[in-house]
Structure 1
Amino acid sequence: MKEVEYIRYLEGLLPREGYSIIDLNECLIDFVSKYRAEVAELYEMLQSATHEIFKAPVGEESPDLFRAIINRIHAAFQQNQVPVLINTGALYGTGIQNIHIMENESVMKANLPIIILYPATHEADRLLFLGKQPASKYRCMIIE
């Protein structure tokens, strides 16, 4: 429940014209709703590589969640807004990791930062996404 409180506080704190809040839970729901039949078909075909449903292999042009997220981030940059990613826990199990977003060309070449609310635990020198999966601290500033 703390995450919801943080998000509400953040929404009240940030001026709408300078920031674009991108809800990844909403992105996931929109993607699955829009491509329901394709997701079901891909799930049957790719049972050993289900992460490819949400992040297509390099060179493949099929619709994927990762591309949809990057398009939203890119659109924010085009409007001179700082993208703020919320509900990033929705990415767990999709094969999309923070590092994939950070290393995307649109993000790396942007003149603005990106803010990612990241549900993690910080233990000693380790950052664990959702308290389970080791996470990269590459190019990030941890605020506790």
Structure 2
Amino acid sequence: MAFLDDYKAKFHNLKVSADFKNRNQLRREANGGNSILFTYPPDEEKLYLQKAQEYLPTSQYKFIDIAKLFVEFIDIDGWNDFKEYYEDFSLTPHIIFNSDDDAIDLMDLIIREISEAEEAGLMPILIRTGALYGTGIENVNIMEHSSVMELKQPLIIFYPVKIENENLLFLNFKQASKYRCTIID
């Protein structure tokens, strides 16, 4: 369905799914998870983000821009060091972006922002998630993180996909998980 016909219903469905009264239903549909994937065609991302600013007030929601966090992550060590590790670990990017060591990585920055939203009583919304492509961080890594599973309010992930035969194709081509989430399509 075209954006103009579709967006009002999708934002309404998002608010219904995220409503406190529907939390048990969300967890059942999400296989015990606590996340909502708000899907849209990648070429309509800008339109959906503009409408999100109108429909989802910052007094209730915190928008977490993954692309900005990606830049913040690079700035921690500087471009030259980042470029060097990225070249060294290009076949295993999760070692750079989602490692188990004490060094701050992109996943740590994402979880920090989600936790800060929770502490402020705001529902976290991840936007510009296309920036995750090539990092080794999949939507399910975020959705299954213990901090996300324990949130009082669900995590909303704005997710650019094509849905084909009930399969999610992130950025129109990469198979994506729909486990641990409810999907708004």
Counterpart in 1 of 2:59?
Answer: 17
Corresponding residue for residue 29 of structure 1: 71
Deviates further, 44-53 or 17-26:
44-53
- TM-score with structure 1 setting the length: 0.91
- Which amino acid in 2 is paired with 1:50? P
**In 1, Cα distance between the equivalents of 2:173 and 2:64?**
24
Q: Secondary structure at the match of 2:181?
A: coil
3-state SS of the aligned residue for 1:15?
coil
**Alpha-carbon distance in structure 1 between the residues aligned to 2:69 and 2:182:** 25
Partner of 1:69: 110
Q: Give the aligned partner of residue 162 of structure 2.
A: 121
8 Å Cα contact 2:144/2:180 also seen in 1? no
The structure richer in helix per residue is 2
Q: Secondary structure at the match of 1:141?
A: strand
- Quote the Cα distance in structure 1 between the aligned partners of 2:104 and 2:52: 31
Residues 1:143 and 2:176 aligned together: no
Which segment drifts farther, 101-110 or 38-47?
38-47
Asked whether 1:7 is paired with 2:56, we answer no
Identity across matched positions, percent: 40
- Segments of 4+ moved more than 3 angstroms: none
Contact kept, 8 Å, 2:61 with 2:124, in 1: the verdict is yes
Q: Cα distance, 1:51 vs. partner?
A: 3.1
Report if the CA contact (8 A) 2:161-2:170 is conserved. yes
| 1:109 maps to 2:150 | yes
Question: Higher strand share goes to which structure?
Answer: 2
**What's the offset of the Cα at 1:44?**
4.2
- The separation in 2 between residues aligned to 1:65 and 1:9, in whole angstroms, is 27
Q: Greater relative contact order: 1 or 2 (C-alpha under 8 angstroms, separation 6 or more)?
A: 2
Q: State the Cα distance separating 1:35 from its structure 2 match.
A: 2.1
- The 3 A distance-change label for structure 1 pair 100 and 63 is same
CA distance in 2, matches of 1:4, 1:65: 23
Residue 55 (structure 1) aligned to one of 98, 101, 106: 98
Match of 1:86 among 101, 115, 127: 127
Distance 2:158 2:87 in 1: 32
